[in-house]
């Protein structure tokens, strides 16, 4: 398959002129003109993927931007959340990343030692549900509220992932949780009457389209066609005992193969009259 030509196309500061064979490795390269006036040989993939955008003059001498070239961020404004953080630091407020360095941050050796001590004290078990899986060390007084209590063992507690998220929801640290059905947080809990009322109101007045109703009616017809009587069930089991293949039995009675397996395994009578 012949690849399309790149002749005349612009990639950053480079303009493709013609395809040539490289002396170094024998592979096909494209000879390009740079905006600074130099020529440069570049592989096709490096041009199309955006890996090479200049002959090297983009950064100039000593790592500085070359004279006369337009910087990549010209005309772009600083995002609002970055400006807010910069203004907070200028006003005397602590920086957003203060205390997260290598010496005293969450990934520091002191923090790892604190986690190990908390786990050993609680016996490597969740203090709420007594689980031994997905454990994490939680601060009773949060990391942000108190700098002095960050690495105090008495300020730590061992929780599993679901209990930790539940605790965060109770204290308003997160608005919602990614719990699944069957987690400890949802056990024994039911939907409130207000939630049930809102769900029922949202479904009122919703009408299925003609296409959906047609598909539903066709599905009902197919399910009726797949049903077999008790006499047919006995015949199917006899044929299978005699060594007849399941596919042949399904073709004989005009049902699906999965229906035959259900009848033979006695797992479900849903497809039997």
Indicate if 12 and 80 belong to the same structural domain. yes
Indicate if 227 and 173 belong to the same structural domain. no
Would you say residue 205 lies in a domain?
no
Distance between CA atoms of residues 2 and 17, nearest Å: 18
Indicate if 60 and 144 belong to the same structural domain. no
**Three-state SS sequence of 193-220:** HHHHHHHHHHHCCCCCCHHHHHHHHHHH
**Residue 19 in tokens:** 């395809």
Banded model confidence at residue 270, pLDDT cuts 50, 70, 90: very low
Considering 92, 121, 149, which residue would you say is the last residue of a domain?
92
| Mean pLDDT of the residues in the chain | 77
Would you say residue 208 lies in a domain?
no
Banded model confidence at residue 143, pLDDT cuts 50, 70, 90: confident
Indicate if 75 and 121 belong to the same structural domain. no
Mean pLDDT within 4-8:
85
Considering 92, 126, 151, which residue would you say is the last residue of a domain?
92
Q: How many CA atoms, within 13 angstroms, populate the side-chain half-sphere of residue 162?
A: 15
Would you say residue 270 lies in a domain?
no
Distance between CA atoms of residues 55 and 58, nearest Å: 7
Counting the structural domains of the chain, the total is 3
Indicate if 227 and 156 belong to the same structural domain. no
Indicate if 3 and 61 belong to the same structural domain. yes
Q: What is the pLDDT of residues 39-90, one digit of tens each?
A: 888 888 888 888 888 887 766 544 455 566 666 677 778 888 888 877 776 6
Would you say residue 181 lies in a domain?
yes
Would you say residue 98 lies in a domain?
no
Distance between CA atoms of residues 177 and 159, nearest Å: 16
Q: What is the pLDDT of residue 273?
A: 44
The domain containing residue 82 runs over which residues? 1-92
Indicate if 88 and 113 belong to the same structural domain. no
**Of the candidate ranges 46-50, 178-182, 247-251, the one whose mean pLDDT is the lowest:** 178-182
Indicate if 5 and 65 belong to the same structural domain. yes
Give which of 268, 267, 225, 263 is closest to 241, Cα–Cα. 263
Indicate if 174 and 226 belong to the same structural domain. no
Considering 64, 92, 120, which residue would you say is the last residue of a domain?
92
Indicate if 119 and 86 belong to the same structural domain. no
Q: Is 42 exposed, middle or buried (0-12, 13-18, 19+ CB in 10 A)?
A: buried
Would you say residue 202 lies in a domain?
no
Would you say residue 31 lies in a domain?
yes
Predicted TM-score (pTM) of this structure: 0.34
Would you say residue 168 lies in a domain?
yes
CATH of the domain at 253: 1.10.10
């Amino acid at each position: 398959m012949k690849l399309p030509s790149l002749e005349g196309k612009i990639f950053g500061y480079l303009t493709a002129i013609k395809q040539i064979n490289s002396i170094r490795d024998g592979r096909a390269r494209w000879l390009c003109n740079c905006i600074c006036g130099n020529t440069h040989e570049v592989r096709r993939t490096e041009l199309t993927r955006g890996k090479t955008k200049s002959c090297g003059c983009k950064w100039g001498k000593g790592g500085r931007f070359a004279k006369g070239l337009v910087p990549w961020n010209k005309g772009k404004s600083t995002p609002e959340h970055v400006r807010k953080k910069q203004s907070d630091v200028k006003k005397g407020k602590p920086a957003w990343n203060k205390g997260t360095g290598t010496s005293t941050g969450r990934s520091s050796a002191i923090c790892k030692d604190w986690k190990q001590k908390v786990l050993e004290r609680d016996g490597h078990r969740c203090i709420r549900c007594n689980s031994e899986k997905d454990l994490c060390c939680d601060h009773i007084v949060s990391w942000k509220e108190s700098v002095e209590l960050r690495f105090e063992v008495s300020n730590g507690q061992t929780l599993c992932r679901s209990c930790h998220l539940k605790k965060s929801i109770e204290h308003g640290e997160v608005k919602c949780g990614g719990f699944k059905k069957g987690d400890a947080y949802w056990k024994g809990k039911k939907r409130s009457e207000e939630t049930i009322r809102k769900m029922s109101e949202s479904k009122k007045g919703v009408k299925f389209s003609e296409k959906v109703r047609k598909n539903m009616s066709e599905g009902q017809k197919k399910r009726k066609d797949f049903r077999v009587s008790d006499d047919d069930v006995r015949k199917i089991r006899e044929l299978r005992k005699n060594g007849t293949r399941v596919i042949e039995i399904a073709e004989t009675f005009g049902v699906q193969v999965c229906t035959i397996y259900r009848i033979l395994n006695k797992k479900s009578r849903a497809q039997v009259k």
